[in-house]
Amino acid sequence: MALEGVMRPGHAQVRVLDLDASITFYRDVLGLVETGRDAQGRVYFKCWDERDHSSYILREAESAGIDFLGFKVRDEATLDAFEKKLADAGLDPVSVPAGDLLETGRRVQFTLPSGHLIELFATKTCVGNGIPTLNPGPWNEQSEKGIAPVRFDHALLYGPNIAEVKRIFIEVLGFYLVERVLGEDGSTEVALWLSCGQKVHDIAFVEYPEPGKLHHCSFLMDSWEKVLRAGDIMSQNTVSVDIGPTRHGITRGCTIYAWDPSGNRFETFQGGYYPYPDYEPLTWTWEAFPQGLDYPQRKLHETFLTVVT
């Protein structure tokens, strides 16, 4: 599948309550690679197999949550085209100059009706993954440090007006709907999974009265065995686990959800099927949603539905 518009999730900037404790957690337990610190006090990380400079940025604040989620687009011409489309759609895009984030080019920001700040960018310094591009090996030393996810994969965001959010992502940004959950009325979409490529989702939304909330950022693992190993590492480090290890009915992904030291939920995720834009979206009724969330137990976990940052 040719990726000519939005290619993938590029980065998330997350608020933490104790920066030092969070650095230790994300570096030593989750196993991310620290790539820089800036004059604003932000700390930059990447997953071991990512090539761009950073995908996960920490900022110390009085409340946990997400500042913004960024998507990488094909090139600068594509970024210019999206800026015009966003303006034409009445979303009042704001251009942030290159260098505001370390090793990152100009970004175009806009606020969704759900209250989330989204940004697009085309340029970020390639620092590589520590594996040569000529006759490369399959892994490097960092791939065994901590949980060691492969990449920042997606985010689930909670907020109001997700019907309008869906329209923006499909009509303006070129995403397509992969799966959805219908509410108790049998017709209102209360949860959406959207993709910009052939992943089972690049972003998801749940209808929620409070705007701008983070449910989780997700990190991709190589295999189900790596997810289970992540669970062992979480237990060894007394990480608070929300759900799992288990399997979703929705997306068919294998997963563990847990919390960082600030209460931000994160996911170690593996699997999922490979959709195409011409596939009919899969629909889950409210009665079947427990199976969609936790396929083996067929259970709605209260914390999963109510705890956000």
How many angstroms separate the CA atoms of 266 and 258, rounded?
A: 6
Catalytic residue among 103, 154, 208, 215: 154
The residues near 173 (Cβ < 8 Å, ≥ 6 apart) are 5, 6, 71, 82, 196
How many angstroms separate the CA atoms of 223 and 227, rounded?
A: 7
The residues near 135 (Cβ < 8 Å, ≥ 6 apart) are none
Would you call 248 a catalytic residue per the annotation? yes
Would you call 11 a catalytic residue per the annotation? no
How many angstroms separate the CA atoms of 139 and 60, rounded?
A: 32
Residue type, 278: D
Would you call 53 a catalytic residue per the annotation? no
* Percentage helix, strand, coil for the chain under 3-state DSSP, each rounded to 5: 20, 35, 45
How many angstroms separate the CA atoms of 308 and 266, rounded?
A: 11
Would you call 116 a catalytic residue per the annotation? no
Would you call 280 a catalytic residue per the annotation? no
228-245 CB burial, b ≥16 within 10 A, e <16? bbbbebbeeeebeebbbb
Catalytic residue among 11, 116, 201, 215: 201
**β 6-16/65-73 pair status:** antiparallel
Burial label, 269 (beta-carbon count in 10 A; 0-12, 13-18, 19+): buried
Residues marked as catalytic: 154, 201, 216, 248, 257, 267
